[in-house]
Structure 1
Amino acid sequence: MELLAPSDYSARLTEAVAALPAVDVAVTDCLGLVLAEPVIARASLPGFDNSAMDGYAVRAQDVPDAGTVLPVAGVVPAGDTRRNRLEPGTAWQIMTGAPVPDGADTVVQVELTDGGTDEVRFERAAEPGVSIRRAGEDVSAGDEVLAAGTRIAARHVPVLVAAGSATVRVIPRPKVAVISTGDELRSVGDELAYGQIIDTNAPMLAALARQAGFEVVHIGRSGDTAEAVLAAVEQASDAGADAIITTGGVSAGAFEPLKAAFEGGSEITFSKVAMQPGKPQGFGIIGDRMPLFALPGNPVSSLVSFVMFVAPALRTMAGRTTDIAWLSARVTKGWRTSPGRAQIARVRLSQNDHGLGVAPSGGPGSHLMGGLAHADALAWIDASVDEVTAGDEVRVVSLEGEFA
C-alpha cells in the first residue's frame, strides 16, 4: 500500500466533509461559532446624540470667555427619556451617556466649571462639538456589523447585542462520538484481570474534541468483532453525532475490528500515512453523510492523528479554518528520528533569549503516556531528517489550545 504524505491525507479528509447546515442561536449562546451570513445592524449606534462625560450641555456661543455664568435649566441623567430643549443663554447639567438636549452643540466637562446646580461658572471658553457622541457615528442602521465567516469572540458580542441582534445564524459545532475498540479495554475504576487495561483513548479523544471547540455526545466501547463495531457505530449515530471517531483496529494484525467491519466495502478507506506515530489510518463517509475517522490504538498515535487530521476536518464542518497553528521554535536539546516518515514528536516548550525553545519529552514509543503528559507541544520533523540537533529550527503546535 502506497504511503501518503500527511498533507495529502489531511486534504483528502477536509475535502470530503462540508460545513454543517446553518442554525439560528441566541446571541448569548454564539461564542465560538461561525456566522453563516452577515449581521446587519437594526439600529444605529449610538441611537441618539449623547454626552461623552459628566458636565454641562450648552451652546458654545453662550460661553465665549472664562468666567461666563449661565443659569442651570435642569439635570439630564443617563436613561432620561424626555426630549429636552436647551434655551439660548442657559445650560443643562448632564451625565455621561445622557441624551444631549436639542439646541446644545457642546458639553463642557464638570472639571472645567464650579459644578453649580442653580447656576454654573465656566473656567474657560467653550468650543463647539466637544464631548458629544453623535447618533450613528459608530454604526448606522443597515450597516454590516460582522461579515459571514466571522468566528464569534467575546469582543463581538457587545456590537451584536447593541445593534439589535437577538439571534444570529451560525454554523453549529459538530457533535462528536468517540468509540474505543478492544476486548481488553475496561473503564476506569473496574477491576482488571490479567491482560486487561484501562481505556484511556476514549476519554482522551473526548477531551481533545472539547478542547478544540466541539461537542461530545457519546463515548462508547466495542469488542473485537465486526458485529460489535457496527453496533457501536449505530449507537453513536443514534446519539445524534455528526462525526464518529474510533480508535484501534486499523493496523495489520489478525484482530483488527475496524477493518473487519468495513474493509472490502466502499465506505471506509484504510491508508498508510508517511508519519510516525500514526501510520495506519482509516476514513470514510457512512450512512447519511456521517464522517468516520478510524485512528490507530496507541494513545500517542491517537492524539497525534486527532491534531493532524481529525481536528482540521471537524473545523471544516464548523466553518472554521483548516490550518494548524504552527509556530517556529529552536531546538535546545536534540534527538534522533527515523528517516522516511515525518516525525511528530512530543516536546516541551520554553522561552529563552532567542525566543521559543523546544526539547523532547519522554521516549519515542507511541504507547508512552508519561512523556505525553509532560509535553505541551508537538514538533514536526521532516521525513528527510534522521537527527535533530540543538540550534535547529522546527515547527511546533501547542497542545494547550484549539490547535488552530
Structure 2
Amino acid sequence: MTAQAQVRVSPLSIASIIISMTIAAIGSGIMATYVPFVLTQSGETWAARLAVPALAFGGLLGCVLAGPLIRRVGHARLFACSMAMVIIGAVLIAADLPAAWWILARAIYGAASNVNFIIAQSWLNHAASNEWRGRAMSFFYMSFVLALGGGAWLFGQVPADTNLAPLIVVFVTALAILPIGLTRLPNPPAPASVSVNVKMAWKISPVGLVGVLASGGLSMVVQGFTPIYATLNGVTQGEVALLMLVMQTGLLFIQYPLGIISDRLDRRVVLLFTCGLIVVAGIAALMVSFTTFVLLMIVFLVFGGAVETVYSVANAHANDRADPGDFVPLSSTLLVAWSTAATIVPLAITFLAPEFGQQTFIYAIILVAIAYGAYIVFRLKERGPAPEDERESHEMRSAQMPNAATMTEPGAAEAQAEAKAQALEG
C-alpha cells in the first residue's frame, strides 16, 4: 500500500481540513454579526444592508475564479492566499475607514470564503473513502455551522465600540492557516472547469433548480438582515449575538429531521411543508415582540432552519433525478444559481427597505416561500409522485456553504455515482 493510499483510508487524515475551516468559521461568525450591528448602530444602515449582496456577489466571483486559480497554484497555496484575503478584509474594517470600505471588505470576504469552501470540499472528497465520505462531509458541515454560531456568541462578549472584534478575526484566520499548512495530505488532481448548463439542470429537475434559486435569496436574506432588524429595534449586542447563535442550531433541530423524512417521502412534499413552515415563521416574526426575546429566538430558529432545509432537500431532489454523467455540470449550475439569487434578492431588499420599512426582508421571504410552494404544487399535479428508487440518501448541507465538491475534482462524479448505486442496492 502506498503512502498516499494510507492517508486516504484514515478518517483522522482529514482532521487538519476540518479544524482549519472550523477555526475560520469562528471568525466568520464574529464578522457576520459585528458588521451589521456596528454599521446599524452608527446610523449607516444603508451600508449594513448593501454589505449583504456584496458578500454574495463576492461569493459568486469566488465560484468562478476558484477552478482556474487552483489549477494555477494548487489547493494548499490558494488556501493560504484566500485566508490572507479574509485577513485583508478584516483589517480594512479594523482600520475604521468609511462605510464604503466595509462593503468592499465584505465582498472580498465573500470571494475568499467561497474559494476556501471549494478547496476544503474538494480536498475532503479526494481524501475520504466511499465508506465514510458522507459522514465526513456531514461532520464538516455541522462543525462549520456550529462554529459560525459560536463566533456570533463570541462577538457578544467583546466591546463593539472598539476594533477588538475584527482583530480577533485576524488572529483566528491566521491560526486557521496552520493545520492545512502543515498537513501531509496530497493535493487533489487539477479541478474541472465550471460548466454551467441551466437548460440541462431545468430538464433534470425544475423543482430542484427553482428550489436552489429560492434558497439563495432566502438564506442570504435571513442571515444578513436579521441582525440589522434586531439592532434597529434596540436589541443589545449580547442579545443579537445570542440570536445569531440560536439561528445556526436550526441545522440540527429543523433540517436534520426534515431531511430524514425526505428520504422516506416524496422530497417535493417535504419542500412544500417547509415552505409552509417558512410562511408561518415569517408571520410569527412580524407579530412577536422584542420584549419576549426567548419567543423571538425560537421563531428565528425555525425561520433559519427551514431556509436551510429548502437548500439541502432541493439539492438532494435534483441529484435524485440526475445521471452520473450530469453530476459535475449540475453541481456547477446549482452553485452559480444559488450565488446569483443570493446577490439579486438582498440587493432588491436593500433598495426597497427604505421605502417599505425594516420588515421588508420578512415579507420578501414569505413571498418567495409562497411562490416556491405554489410551483411545487403545480409540479406535483403535473408529474405525480416520484419513484422511491430514484432517491439517494439525504446529507446535511448548509446554504451558507457552497456544495462544490463535484465542481472541483474530476473523480467526484464517479464517487457520487458509486455511492448512489450502493445506496440504491442497499
Which range, TM-score by smaller chain? under 0.3
* Higher helix proportion (structure 1 or 2): 2
Please say which structure displays the higher CA radius of gyration.
Answer: 1
Where relative contact order (Cα < 8 A, 6+ residues apart) is larger, the structure is 2
Tell me the TM-score normalized by structure 2: 0.21
* Higher strand proportion (structure 1 or 2): 1
Tell me the TM-score normalized by structure 1: 0.22
